[in-house]
Amino acid sequence: MRKGGPAAATPSAPAAVVDKFLGKAQITITNYTLKKQKFRVYGVIPKHAVVADASPKPIRTTENYILWEVPQLNIAQKTEISYTLANLEKGDHDEAELYVEGSMTFTSWARTSGRAMKDC
């Protein structure tokens, strides 16, 4: 007679190994208006990704977005925002999806190539 308790585990095939990637983005912002400006920038985080690094430090990070409050920029002043997302699949962060609260113009942004996280 068998005593109660969990059934013996049946060995199963190991889960498929999937290489994860890091996605890095760098955004340059220039104030081309004729007055000082301050505003907020929202960066969308792809599903399952996590923020590995961000500069300057965001004022809020959720599972869906990163929020920065950009300090007041003088006329023609520039600033940069950069961040790294981890736990990405290849192609998950080929373009940075950004939203601005306030009136500024993004002059350039670049995403550096992702790299596998095998050795991280």
Q: Say if residues 31 and 100 touch (Cβ distance below 8 Å).
A: no
Report the relative pairing of strands 98-101 and 65-73 from DSSP bridges: unpaired
pLDDT at 104: 54
> Which residues have C-beta within 8 Å of that of residue 33, sequence separation ≥ 6?
75, 103, 104
Cα–Cα distance measured from residue 3 to residue 89, given in angstroms and rounded to the nearest whole number: 45
Q: Tell me, yes or no, if the pTM score tops 0.95.
A: no
pLDDT digits 0-9 by tens, 65-118 = 999 999 999 999 999 999 999 888 777 666 778 888 876 555 444 444 344 333
The residue length of the chain stands at 120
Does residue 1 have a pLDDT over 70?
A: no
pLDDT for 7: 46
H helix intervals, the chain: none
For the chain, domains (ranges, CATH) are 21-112 (2.60.40.290)
